[in-house]
Amino acid sequence: MTSKRRRATGQHMLVNRDVARRQAGYAQLSPGDTVLEIGPGKGILTRELAAAAGKVVAIEKDESFIPQLSNLPKNVEVIIADALVYPLPRFDKVVSNLPYVISSPITFRLLETDFELGILMYQKEFAARMCARVGGKEYSRLSVETYRRADCRILEEVPPSAFSPQPRVRSAIVELRPRPSPFPSRHPEAFSAVARALFSHRRKSARNALLCEQKILGDLLNGLDEGDALLKKKAEALSPEQIAELADRLADG
């Protein structure tokens, strides 16, 4: 795959060994850990992980990297597959430089599994939205859905010069710690549907934002109470807890 094509598909290979070393260090690996790496590329991070973990499972979609990945340490298992659809193995920690174009779907796929810690590289703006809290300009549906599933924080920013080809944006290493939801939500599917509707019209009142998505929300709107104080707030001003409360009321009718 050419550099031009890799840039177009969001693949930027980490070439700075100091960054790879720090990223592996953030994971606090031990010989008892099985680590999942998605998109190992040429294996610069993979080798750092293999030096500290008991086992590394590296899933790479691009077959052109097979030659570079064929001479890795013996505790590395390389799987040529698409991590978006391949059955993920059991793992304790995930440490990866994720292709930008799959950042959202692969993150939520990971959060559907049981693991201890993630140290993941994202585009800086994406990382900021993941970790944002209500009231901030980056606060979004991604913020809400991440907060419902995990604690999230940015560990460091990474310049374009650390990659080849160089991206046009800065990147960030994020720590992701899965945990139970910090607030009650009786209807998780309704929560996701309501959050999606609200942030599709973030500057409207919650009531108007929901009504704009009648075709998607359908029967949920049968529980719309015009007197509900939450419906008067702007969608972007609702906390995850308030969104869950509103979604539960709608789902309960």
Beta bridge pairs of residue 95: 119
State yes or no: pLDDT of 193 exceeds 80.
yes
pTM of the shown model? 0.91
pLDDT-based confidence at residue 226 (cuts at 50, 70, 90): confident
Give tens-digit pLDDT for 117-173: 999 999 999 999 999 999 889 999 999 999 999 999 999 999 999 999 999 999 999
DSSP 135: T
Provide the pLDDT for residue 9: 47
- List own/partner pairs for 210-215 with CB under 8 A and 24 or more apart: none
Half-sphere exposure of 248 (CA within 13 A, CB side): 10
Provide the pLDDT for residue 8: 46
Give tens-digit pLDDT for 67-108: 999 999 999 999 999 999 999 999 999 999 998 999 999 999
Distance, CA of 26 to chain centre: 17
Give tens-digit pLDDT for 25-75: 999 999 999 999 999 999 999 999 999 999 999 999 999 999 999 999 999
For the chain, which domains are there? 3-178 (3.40.50.150), 188-252 (1.10.8.100)
pLDDT-based confidence at residue 228 (cuts at 50, 70, 90): confident
- The gap between the terminal CA atoms of the chain, to the nearest Å, is 53
